[in-house]
Structure 1
Amino acid sequence: MSASTATWAQVPVIDPSITLQCLKPAKAQRDALAYPFDAWKDGKGGRVQVELLFHSPDRGPAVSVLPADADERLVDAVKFHVNTFRLPCVDRGVSQGRVILEYVFKPDDQRVAASEPRDPEVERRQALWACVRHVSGAKSPAYPPDARQALRQGSVQTRLEFRSADTPPIAQVWSATGNGPLHTGVEEWVKGYRMDCHPGGESVTQDLQFRFRLEGAPAVGFKPLTLMQLLPAVKGIRDQRLAFDFTQMDCPFDVRLTYLQPHAPNKVVQLDSFEPSRRPLVDWLQGIELNMRGTQLEAVYADDLLLSVPCAKINL
């Protein structure tokens, strides 16, 4: 078996925006804004951009009109339209969600074009990560020689907390081995990161995954599974009481699970859509531990599992 080529990758983990996933109504209804007839007859067109701030799951947003180049009648039409929007994943009094939307009024064909909604917090995190550099000037470290010689491969998960522009991040590092060469190499490497554009006065946290692969070595990682296929591999499943009705969770649906147990809760992201009714399942998946040890655990640790959930009921 040849392992002449070692590949290494650092992957910033910026999850899909929950805010955008759970924004209601559906896209077709959000985009269906009628052109005010009197403004169209007057040949008025333009661009209206608004920021929506949600404080409650069942109430309309506070609407701020960003600099606009449009007739007031068009601005009023947008404000009235977005007042029907809801963000059911917001916890009243605990969290809030921001969304930016843009509507372009085109009088030549009496059409309104709607942009895709944007989450300013996700855009902010992406911009902050884009300015992170390593003091060595290198984009990646060398594959740890001990790991390469022993044909060790796998993934390491980190959580970096940046508190200023000129100090190293406070790092948490999780791996299957805990103190193997891949873990140690990452632990030393992340000390060299700096966030040059740090805004100051706050803590900025970023998850980062490191993937180590060797050409010619056996492939590592999860294959896509259904939830029913996963259940037998869950540690202590026979001692658990489970009662899930997926028919009440807008099924079928997919989630992405990043396996981090037993060192940290698994990361679970709902794909395509977000439904608050799935919270009990997500909470359970975050806590599951699999019956794996040694090289088997190394092969899947910090890897992403695409999990398909069917329209079914479970009562164990």
Structure 2
Amino acid sequence: MKTMTQILTRRAAALCISVLTAWVGIAHAADPDADPRSTRGERHLACLQAPMLTALEVPAPPDGSPRLLRARLTFTAGDVEPTVEWLWKDAPGAVAPLEQQLRGYRIPCFEPGGGPQLVVQEFWVTPGTGKLEVGQVWPTVSAGQPSSCYVRLETNFEASRPLPKIAKALVYFRFVEGREAPVMEVAYHVGPPAFLHSVRSQIETYRRCPDGRTTSSWHQQLFTHLPDTAGQPTFKPMEFRAFLSKVKDAEKLRAHFDLSTMRCPFQVRWTMYQPALPNEAVAMGEMDDNRKVFLGWLGSLRLDLPASTEAVTFGESMTITVPCLLINLQPQR
């Protein structure tokens, strides 16, 4: 196990109470009856029907090294063929047969009303043998997807009573018909019940936006309480290879990425939501779907931390510097 001092630094807290908000004004679940812990894209992928080849006939180049193909698919309905856009195609001879397979993908549980669903997938094909390595499908978003909003009547959050330890709560809330204040569900909570009561009271002050843009979708918000004597826990910035050395079961990792096809080097904001939810990796700066599969994989990794450290660092972010590398990780025997 890695200790807190190996991975974390501490900075003085400017306020006793801080409120950290993720995706304020943007709803992440289009289906109000769905589990708020899953996004629309994740629910779509859960039912994705994706027939796939295991080998292709591709002429062998002189070096015979695997070749990368990266595709972005756009779905507009559950029974409609997706459009296919190639973001990277280093093996032109494999494009036609692969695209034929990709056009056979379907999302039978497609949720209407949320705009198109975009996904990205990578493939590695070995010329000569035609061996095909099929990567995981990851959802992405389009610029025109709808959002929702809310307003806060009380802008300052205060715990109902002084608390001696750090307390945190990650909650989801949404507005339902016939109710002025939103309903709330708790995704993660550490600390006394009094803190959660204060969070619930704060959420009760939220209201719909007056311009009609509020929907019944779920919103997410993180609340953090820091005692006067506590410093704000924060992660050190890390280089990518140093980050991998802190990952749980690093010797079991399997990954194949060519970072030179992703406008490297670049920086990633990696936010820890373990053990309650998957962690999150977002590239800093302009969005580029060439990085989507790599970022999805990076967010799926968990740090090797004791439960006590997870409670303190839940919701905290670090900056990871990603260099130009060819990554081919295989589980160690």
For 2:257, which of 232, 241, 244 is the aligned residue? 244
What is residue 271 of structure 1 aligned with on the other side?
A: 284
Aligned residues between the structures: 215
What is residue 155 of structure 2 aligned with on the other side?
A: 139
Which segments of 5 or more consecutive residues in structure 2 lack a partner in the other structure? 1-11, 27-75, 77-82, 87-116, 121-139
Q: Is the 8 A contact 1:176 1:301 kept in 2?
A: no
Q: Is the 8 A contact 1:164 1:198 kept in 2?
A: no
For 1:283, which of 283, 287, 296 is the aligned residue? 296
**d(CA) in 2 for partners of 1:239, 1:279:** 22
For 1:253, which of 258, 266, 273 is the aligned residue? 266
Q: Is the 8 A contact 2:280 2:300 kept in 1?
A: no
In structure 2, relative to structure 1, the CA distance for the partners of 1:225 and 1:175 (3 Å cut) is farther
For 1:170, which of 168, 179, 183 is the aligned residue? 183
**d(CA) in 2 for partners of 1:162, 1:226:** 41
1:234 aligns with 2:234: no
**d(CA) in 2 for partners of 1:237, 1:180:** 36
What is residue 318 of structure 2 aligned with on the other side?
A: 305
SS of equivalent residue, structure 2 residue 275:
coil
**d(CA) in 1 for partners of 2:118, 2:249:** 33
Structure 1 residue 140: deviation in Å? 3.3
Q: Is the 8 A contact 2:19 2:157 kept in 1?
A: no
Structure 1 residue 297: deviation in Å? 1.4
**d(CA) in 1 for partners of 2:25, 2:246:** 26
Mapping 1:1-316, distance limit 5 Å: 6-14=16-24, 96-98=142-144, 125=148, 128-129=149-150, 132-134=151-153, 138-143=154-159, 145=161, 148=163, 150=164, 152-153=165-166, 155-164=168-177, 166-175=179-188, 177=190, 182-183=195-196, 185-187=198-200, 189-197=202-210, 199=212, 202-316=215-329
What is residue 25 of structure 1 aligned with on the other side?
A: none
What is residue 76 of structure 1 aligned with on the other side?
A: none
Counterpart AA for 2:159: Y
Structure 1 residue 96: deviation in Å? 5.0
Which segments of 5 or more consecutive residues in structure 1 lack a partner in the other structure? 17-54, 60-88, 99-119
Counterpart AA for 2:152: R
Counterpart AA for 1:271: M
TM-score relative to the length of structure 2: 0.52
Q: Is the 8 A contact 2:13 2:226 kept in 1?
A: no
In structure 2, relative to structure 1, the CA distance for the partners of 1:254 and 1:312 (3 Å cut) is same
Structure showing greater radius of gyration is 1
Q: Is the 8 A contact 1:226 1:308 kept in 2?
A: yes
Could you say what the CA RMSD is over the residues aligned between the two structures, in angstroms?
Answer: 3.9
**d(CA) in 1 for partners of 2:213, 2:288:** 35
Q: Is the 8 A contact 2:13 2:231 kept in 1?
A: no
Structure 1 residue 220: deviation in Å? 0.8
Q: Name the structure with the higher helix share.
A: 1
Q: Is the 8 A contact 2:247 2:303 kept in 1?
A: yes
In structure 2, relative to structure 1, the CA distance for the partners of 1:182 and 1:203 (3 Å cut) is same
